[in-house]
Amino acid sequence: MKTWVKVVLSVVVILVLLIGILVSYVIWDNREIPVKRPPLIKEKVLKPFELKREIYGDPDIFDQPRIQFSWHGPNREKTEIWSVKIDGTDLRLSVDAELLYPEGEDLGLQPGFSTYRSPDNRYILVMLGKYRVSYVAVYIVDLKEQTRKKVEDTKHAFLIRYPWVSDSKSFFYLRDKTESLSRYYLNSGKIETIKETSSKSFYVQQTAEIINQIGIKDLIRLDFNGSELERIPLGKNVHRMTHYVGPGGDYFIYQNYEGTYFAPIKNINELEKIKVGRPIINRNGDKVFGGGGSIIYYYDRFLKKNIIFYKKYGNRQYNIETGFRMGSLSLINEKLNDVQ
């Protein structure tokens, strides 16, 4: 056989082998491999969003405790104030943008600050300001009369925690760059200076005419005139930025790197650890709200257990009743102070 014939045959054999290898690889690469995948979460088909409004004094709406929070709802132009029953049903618009925001002013609800409803359920205190500008004012929304009133002409006013007096006729707040603790009377519009101070750590006690102030080293109890009644040492391991006073004035909610605790004020070493991150406590002081992972819940202080009232699915948070997606952090970031 001639040499050139051998060369041609060798080339053909090599090409056949290469083609065979290529075909084998393609077949192998496209094989079906069983893949174990996590089960898909079946999400409900969303119902058309039905806007329902909260009606002042309607007993059916308030037949159980409600959560109050701010939310930019579907098809709404601005963030407004909403409420929902503690079981996640009966989502309602409490204060719409028309009532909430002064006309012609570029104001918004201040993120991270609370909206506080009065104990008689008639008034809501809100803080409105211009974003990225040091301007914050306190407004009173009257749910019965559907009116809004600015507390005073100031560029620096802040609500303290649990600002309302139990009869709903007055509340406490900080004014003039927090240089004074003041009391505002709803009927007369009178503003009374209680104490000159630069502190922001004041908590109106709901069980007595007492204001609790957390100082650097002590818990200071004041009467409603600003006079000192008592000083209680905080203890070396407690810092004023890591805890606050419960509305009954009998314990702290205390946080450190290990967790969250109830700490009796009279015996701060008797800590009761609870599984709540970034705690939020109701006005009666018996429920501490929190959340993490896929649930939002509250810890019942007397039953000593967590009770789920909201769930998230696939990192999305839905209203239980309507199935409509809500703002993912609204219920956690707001101070849920209106649950009885």
pLDDT digit string (tens) for 201-225? 888 988 889 999 988 778 899 999 9
pLDDT at 236: 60
Provide the residue type at 3 as one letter. T
Three-class HEC string of the chain? CCHHHHHHHHHHHHHHHHHHHHHHHHHHHCCCCCCCCCCCCCCCCCCCCCCCECCCCCCCCCCCCEEEEEECCCCCCCCEEEEEECCCCCCEEEECHHHHCCCCCCCEECCCCCCEECCCCCEEEEEEECCCCCCEEEEEEECCCCEEEECCCCCEEEEEEEEECCCCCEEEEEECCCCEEEEEECCCCCEEEEEECCCCCEEECCCCCEEEEECCCEEEEEECCCCEEEEEECCCCCCHHHEEECCCCCEEEEEECCEEEEEECCCCCCCEEECCCCCEECCCCCEEEEEECCEEEEEECCCCEEEEEEEEECCEEECCCCCCECCCCHHHHCCCCCCC
Digit-coded pLDDT (tens) for 65-101:
777 878 777 788 888 888 887 777 788 899 999 999 9
Q: Does the pTM of the predicted model rise above 0.85?
A: no
Which domains are delineated in the chain? 66-333 (2.120.10.30)
The band of 46, judged by pLDDT with boundaries at 50, 70 and 90, is low
Residue 313 has pLDDT above 70, yes or no: no
